Amino acid sequence: MSQPSLTLPAAGQAAGRGRRLLEIAGAAAIAGTYIFLVLTQPADIANGPASFSALVALGGFLLGAVLLILAVLPVLPTSTLVLMPVALVLNVVLGQLMGTTGLPFYFDAIGTVLIAVLAGPAAGAATGALSSIVWSFFNPTVLPFAAGAALIGFLAGLAARGGQFRRFYLAPVAGFGTGILAGVVSAPIAAFVFGGTSGLGTGAIVSAFRAMGDSLFAAITKQALISDPMDKAIVFAIAALLAYALPRRATFAFPFVRRFGVLAGKAPGTPKA
Amino acid sequence: MRARLHPLTALTGAACTAVVTTAAASWVFSVAVTLAVAVLAARAGVARQVLPAAAVILAPLCVSLLVLHGLFFPEGQTALASWGPARVTAEGLRFALELATRTAACVLALLLFSFTVSVPDLVSALAERKLPPQFVFVLASTLALLPAIAGRLVRIRQAQEARGLVLRGGLLSRLGAVRLQMVPLVLGLIEDAGSRAQALDARGFGGGAPRTSYREVPDPPAQRWFRAAALLAAAGAVVIRLALSWPPGVQP
């Protein structure tokens, strides 16, 4: 399932450099938008909704996500590409399934993290961004969070490459760190585009910080720093559990898993042809 | 009437409506857009699907906005009522109204697009525009896969229930039940993806050769002009908003 195509020529050197530039431009668009929003955040939101910041946040983050998709997608092997619809479906279905346990978290990135663990940071980032775009067919409010979802996939892939999934107790730690970054990057979207969060629990936390006199952006960033790390720690733990619950034959078929020793244990012996 | 719209025309219309509404930043305009989209949905015969779907998305957001800004808005000057730390201010209520109507207009416009568009037409229109075929594949494949997976989950649950799974009890037993359903589902999906990858590769999916399409989507010139005009209007609205708000708010 993971063999590269034998009949097609490899991508040229120049094309590779162009894609690298696209990747850097995408990451720069996301980082630049965030810094710009923090520096120019409206001092007084009482004058009306922050339309200016909303447009900048939407434009910059979506541009970054689209650039990342364009850079990564054409070079992914088909075996990874066919996993992306699966990841999106898992994001939706597993999120609903975990909802039946009654735990107060969102769990909307399980599929993205699982793909990042199996196929690497680039695949994870593209999966996260694409998930948001396709999911917005059913719920348009997830579209602006595409950049944050891409960041989660990318960081999950980096953590997997660094061996954080070899020991089970390290996966939630990596998730905690990912949650801090992803929450901080997503906060301007929640603050400027939606003016709040859609959950009642998270809304209560934001209200508490607002009651202490914080600005809306600061309150939502603090709320994200409370909820997101916990959520992502649990999501990473679930993804690790899933990766180990799958048969080795399935997980070790991925070149990324074999090359970087992502999962503990030895690869199953390949039968002689 | 909407069925004959080119998918890209519908997409452009929905996206430009969302952008212009965001740039306009006026709750009167947002309410007008919301009503217009609702009327369009009714005329297209999808109001029964679009409105409940939008309500499920918008209701928690609106309640949360109302509680958050209605009770806690430290920037507000005109207090209408107050209980301890909570203060109902006119500015806070207005802010909640502005954001709730703006989000409602954008969500309704985009949902109207996704509920009226024919996915095969959209896919072939996107492929014609030289988008990476990988993107088109992921989009089409996901939209086709979602209902199939929901059915599969039901079959897995039935199979596990036949083997003694009980969906009751405390948190631990519930988590155990989730595990019993999750692992077969994920394993089956990943196995399927592997065989699909081989089938696609065997048909030259990874190659860069140009594709031909059996499906032709008519694109009348009038709709091209409409798209160009809509894009220009959206760009103009954004430029005006950016120019009006520049220089951006300075920290006190």
Flag whether pLDDT at A220 surpasses 50: yes
Output phi, psi for B88, to 5 deg. -85, 115
For the stretch A39-59, pLDDT in tens is 877 665 655 566 788 888 888
The total domain count for chain A is: 1
Cβ-defined contact of B135 to A69 (cutoff 8 Å): yes
Q: Tokens 């086709």 sit at which residue?
A: B144
B207 in a domain, yes or no? no
Do B183 and B232 lie in one domain? The reply is no
CB contact under 8 A, A43 and B67: no
For residue A40, tell me if it sits in a domain.
Answer: no
User: Residue B238: its chain A contacts at CB < 8 A?
Assistant: 55, 59
Interface probe, candidates B46, B64, B106, B118, chain A, greatest A C-beta count within 10 A: B64
Model confidence at B250: pLDDT above 50: no
Instruction: Let me know if residue A131 belongs to a domain.
Output: yes
- pLDDT higher than threshold 70 for residue B2: no
Q: What angle do CA A56, B138, A253 make, to 5 degrees?
A: 120
Which residue do the tokens 């946040």 mark? A57
Contact A97 B242 (CB under 8 A): no
Backbone phi, psi, residue B83, to 5°: -125, 105
**Per the domain annotation, does B211 fall within a domain?**
no
Q: How many domains does chain B have?
A: 2
Question: Within 13 Å of residue B10, how many CA atoms lie on the same side as its CB?
Answer: 26
pLDDT of A8 > 70? The answer is no
- Mean pLDDT, range A215-244, rounded to an integer: 88
B252 within some domain: no
A246–chain B Cβ distance below 8 A for any pair: yes
CATH at A223: 1.10.1760.20
Asked if residue B189 and residue B131 are part of one domain, the reply reads yes
Q: Does residue B37 have a pLDDT over 60?
A: yes
Query: Per-residue pLDDT tens for B225-246?
Result: 999 999 999 999 988 888 887 6
Task: Please indicate, yes or no, if residue B250 is contained in any of the structural domains.
Answer: no
Separation CA B207–CA A9 (nearest Å): 8
Mean pLDDT of B165-170: 71
In-domain check, residue B240: yes
How buried is A144 (Cβ within 10 angstroms: 0-12 exposed, 13-18 middle, 19+ buried)?
A: buried
B112 shares its domain with B228: yes
Q: Quick check: A12 contacting B, CB < 8 Å?
A: no
d(CA A45, CA A186): 19
User: Has residue B64 been placed in a domain?
Assistant: yes
Partners of residue A41 in chain B, C-beta under 8 Å: 249, 251
Same domain for B83 and B113: yes
Q: Are A85 and B138 an interchain contact pair (Cβ–Cβ within 8 Å)?
A: yes
Q: List pLDDT tens digits, range B10-34.
A: 999 999 999 999 888 888 999 999 9
State the best of B17, B56, B57, B72 to mutate against chain A, taking most chain A CBs within 10 Å: B72
B100 plus B27 within the same structural domain: yes
Q: What is the DSSP string of B113-146?
A: HHHHS-HHHHHHHHHHTT--HHHHHHHHHHHHHH
* Domain match, B105 and B168 both: no
The confidence band for B5, taking pLDDT boundaries of 50, 70 and 90, is confident
Q: What is residue A101's predicted lDDT score, i.e. its pLDDT?
A: 59
B95:A54 CB<8 A: no
What distance in Å separates residue B185's CA from the closest CA in chain A? 9
Q: Using CA coordinates, name the residue in chain A closest to B59.
A: A198
In sequence order, the 6+-apart residues with CB closer than 8 A to the CB of A78 are: A5, B197, B200, B201, B205, B206
Residue type, A232: K
Q: Note whether A54 contacts B: Cβ–Cβ < 8 A.
A: yes
- For A1, residues 6+ apart whose C-beta sits below 8 A from its C-beta are A79, A253, B193, B194, B195, B197, B198
> Which pLDDT score, from 0 to 100, does residue A104 have?
58
Question: In terms of domains, do B9 and B95 share one?
Answer: yes
| A158 belongs to a structural domain | yes
Q: Residue B177: which residues within 8 A CB-CB, separation 6 or more? A: B160, B165, B166, B167
pLDDT confidence tier of residue B251, bands split at 50, 70 and 90: very low
Per the domain annotation, does A51 fall within a domain?
Answer: no
Question: Would A107 be classed as within a structural domain?
Answer: yes
This complex has an ipTM of 0.82
Q: Report yes or no: A82 at the B interface, CB cutoff 8 Å.
A: yes
Residues in CB range of A86: below 8 A, 6 or more apart: A111, A115, B145, B189, B190, B192, B193
* A180: closest CA of chain B, how far (Å): 23
A5/B201 Cβ within 8 A = yes
Q: Write out pLDDT tens, residues A165-192.
A: 888 889 999 999 999 999 898 888 888 8
Give the closest of A43, A202, A246 to B250, CB-based. A43
User: Do B20 and B112 fall into the same domain?
Assistant: yes
Q: Which residue of A has its CA nearest to B97?
A: A49
Task: For residue A169, give the nearest of A252, A233, A262 by alpha carbon.
Answer: A233
Residue B251 forms part of a structural domain: no
Same domain, B109 and B230: yes
Question: To which H or E segment does residue B83 belong?
Answer: strand B79-83
Domain extent, residue B48, equals 2-117+219-245
Q: State whether A74 and B134 contact (CB < 8 Å).
A: yes
Looking at the structure, tell me whether residues B73 and B41 fall in a common domain. yes
Q: Is B148 left (phi over 0), alpha (psi -120 to 50) or beta?
A: alpha
Contact A43/B at CB under 8 A: yes
Q: Average the pLDDT over A70-90 and give the result.
A: 86
Residues in chain B with CB shorter than 8 Å from the CB of A84 are 138, 142
Question: Can you give the residue range of the structural domain that contains A132?
Answer: 80-260
**What is the nearest CA distance from A208 to chain B, expressed in angstroms?**
8
Q: Inter-chain contact A82–B74, Cβ cutoff 8 Å? A: no
Contact at CB, A210 and B132, closer than 8 angstroms: no
- Both B166 and B112 in one domain: the answer is no
Q: A-chain residues within 8 Å CB-CB of B134?
A: 73-74, 76, 81
- Would you call B191 and A101 a contact, using CB atoms and an 8 Å cutoff? no
Which of A43, A49, A92 shows the shortest C-beta gap to B249?
A: A43
Same-domain check for residues B156 and B185: yes
Residue B209 counted as domain residue = no
